[in-house]
Structure 1
């Protein structure tokens, strides 16, 4: 391409994307791996471009290029290289890209921040004992107390682990069902639907671990934990509300983290914004950066910037208001943002 001196390799996928272990290992993110793209991103064709040893996957829409993956590891120099390639391929489109752990600040292209989102991260210690000791005294006591209480009151209770091919479609369905019940109990709604059931089933069969609390073979609580290159992810946590007094979800969560440590895990992602239990279990807030990237300022890019600014302001409001979700959904609909 004119003005593009680096070597590149472009591959098109009309169906399943081929395995790419080097890509998965580099980003060590459930949201930035080929298994996730195949399970959750139906748009095809998808493309892979490799430049100077790094790669991105993307799809092409009517107005924009969607770079696949979030919680990803790219330098500003790499982002610039890929943007240069994509703009020369598609000069009349903008790029939707993000989930970076650092702000994109090279200044080479026009970048509008599109979201206020955080990943809640914990670097894992060398052993379970060290992890337990790192928790505050109240959490440490509660973790041990609720596990003992459940197994005391229900001697037939079990803490089980399912990995990859052991994970059934029915198990995923039941976990999502409990998530819906729990959200209803909190007078809110779950974002998980049939698409997520299918997606998590296929992803978990490839790289998933599910920890459960069970009673006579009946599911009481569970976590869905895809693991990529020793990074665990709390994709879903749910439990049967009938057993609230035993905190079974947090029993499953502790077992999930302990197992990650035992298996040599280096980092655990509680994901998407801080909450009380994530903080108590050791999560630290890390901001993520999402952008619409343009080759230059135009009327279209300036209009988009205004929409992005409104959305970010609404997301800030949403995080601090009970009515925030309803307001942001309504306003985003009015201004034409999805």
Structure 2
């Protein structure tokens, strides 16, 4: 097999790697557009290009965090020989580096030349798109087809002024995008939660829409009542924001908007629709399939693994806790399971969710006067990190209705 050649570019992400990043990984959180908008393409970000002959087989963007290297392009499939070649080059070139972190990767290698630890950390709910809307409808469950038809008929019968449009890039109205964001904030405030979308994040969303956005907007009497904000990378689409007005809770607007968006993606010959993380029922009803993602740590030696023993234990523990939570959520979606253990898990999970909602409500109700409104409007003093993958970012769920 031909060897892998490694080239390093310090404090730079060369223009020529932009196309391979999209082509090789086809994911939002590896795309140049995303990293440009979120400020990851400047000083402090380094690039490793791996080639076999003249062909680029991998591009790795990374940063230094003390004695640790953190890979920042995520949701990638890195073959074991690529991980080995990258690690070998990093450890040889930077003697003080003891561990390399791949916060979110699509594949966990079975073996590497260096000691490593892997743990599941999050998920991506992905719909593989058929070639036509008719094929998609045929694949949907009978109850889902009935649900969509019933609510569309109810919507047109009770609210005849309803209309919807889908626009791309610059054709999407800034006012519509901001209206969807405000609906998201209001929805989260109604659940006694903080929306992650502060003013800075709203501006970043608008920049992303201009670069690669697809926006579906539903209006009633000319006013935005629901919508989705999505991004395109290569031939895949990614759901960023979904929201609807609480006044129309009885019309299933969130699910209907998502269905309309998926049909638009099919019409554009897309390959996949990514709901991203968050195990909400509507994602599975619309045929999303869960893909578990892992956090990989690669160590210089067994000694470095032992020296980082406490962090390694926490890493494994978080992975086990993710698996337990994921197992419980899976059981909660299968109420036909007759196992006592599974029924107990379901009731336990629901009980924990109720406790969390009560705590959230108490926390929001006892904030200083005005702070709840500021958080909902995104004008709080403390800026929150954008919702994204990785160990340094928050765990806000994507696509909460």
TM-score (norm. length: structure 2) = 0.73
Inter-CA distance 17–190: structure 2 relative to 1 (3 Å threshold): farther
**Contact residue 15 and residue 45 of structure 1 kept, 8 A:** no
1:184, CA displacement in angstroms?
3.1
Q: Note the alpha carbon deviations across 1:236-258, whole angstroms, 9 max, x for none.
A: 21111111111111111001110
**Contact residue 120 and residue 270 of structure 1 kept, 8 A:** yes
Q: 1:61 aligned to 2:65?
A: yes
Q: 1:25 aligned to 2:23?
A: yes
Equivalences, count: 324
Q: Which moved more, 1:186-195 or 1:301-310?
A: 186-195
Partners of 2:282 and 2:201 in 1: how far apart? 24
What residue in structure 2 maps to residue 302 of structure 1?
309
Q: 1:221 aligned to 2:226?
A: yes
**Contact residue 17 and residue 38 of structure 1 kept, 8 A:** no
Q: What SS does the corresponding residue of 1:48 show, helix, strand or coil? A: strand
Q: Note the alpha carbon deviations across 1:66-101, whole angstroms, 9 max, x for none.
A: 212222122111111112222223332322214322
Partners of 1:175 and 1:15 in 2: how far apart? 33
**Contact residue 238 and residue 275 of structure 2 kept, 8 A:** yes
What residue in structure 2 maps to residue 270 of structure 1?
275
What residue in structure 1 maps to residue 245 of structure 2?
240
| Residue number among 204, 219, 235 corresponding to 1:199 in the alignment | 204
1:121, CA displacement in angstroms?
1.4
Partners of 2:16 and 2:103 in 1: how far apart? 23
Q: Note the alpha carbon deviations across 1:275-298, whole angstroms, 9 max, x for none.
A: 211111001111111122211122
Q: Note the alpha carbon deviations across 1:264-284, whole angstroms, 9 max, x for none.
A: 111111111422111110011
Partners of 1:203 and 1:91 in 2: how far apart? 38
Q: What SS does the corresponding residue of 2:276 show, helix, strand or coil? A: coil
Q: Which moved more, 1:291-300 or 1:130-139?
A: 291-300
TM-score (norm. length: structure 1) = 0.86
Partners of 1:100 and 1:68 in 2: how far apart? 10
What residue in structure 2 maps to residue 124 of structure 1?
129
Structure 1 or 2, whichever has the larger Rg, is: 2
Inter-CA distance 295–11: structure 2 relative to 1 (3 Å threshold): same
Q: Which moved more, 1:221-230 or 1:16-25?
A: 16-25
Partners of 2:80 and 2:151 in 1: how far apart? 46
Q: Which moved more, 1:134-143 or 1:211-220?
A: 211-220
1:6, CA displacement in angstroms?
4.3
What residue in structure 2 maps to residue 176 of structure 1?
181
Partners of 1:71 and 1:6 in 2: how far apart? 22
**Contact residue 317 and residue 324 of structure 1 kept, 8 A:** no
| Residue number among 129, 141, 147 corresponding to 2:146 in the alignment | 141
Q: 1:88 aligned to 2:87?
A: no
1:19, CA displacement in angstroms?
6.9
**Contact residue 33 and residue 208 of structure 2 kept, 8 A:** yes
Inter-CA distance 80–217: structure 2 relative to 1 (3 Å threshold): farther
| Residue number among 272, 284, 287 corresponding to 1:282 in the alignment | 287
1:152, CA displacement in angstroms?
3.1
Partners of 2:17 and 2:95 in 1: how far apart? 30
**Contact residue 167 and residue 201 of structure 1 kept, 8 A:** no
What residue in structure 1 maps to residue 33 of structure 2?
35
What residue in structure 1 maps to residue 46 of structure 2?
47
Partners of 1:196 and 1:292 in 2: how far apart? 30
1:13, CA displacement in angstroms?
4.6
Partners of 2:217 and 2:15 in 1: how far apart? 31
Q: Which moved more, 1:250-259 or 1:171-180?
A: 171-180
1:217, CA displacement in angstroms?
3.6
Give me the CA root mean square deviation: 2.6
Partners of 2:275 and 2:281 in 1: how far apart? 12
Partners of 1:41 and 1:113 in 2: how far apart? 28
Partners of 2:261 and 2:44 in 1: how far apart? 36
Partners of 1:153 and 1:69 in 2: how far apart? 47
Q: What SS does the corresponding residue of 2:104 show, helix, strand or coil? A: strand
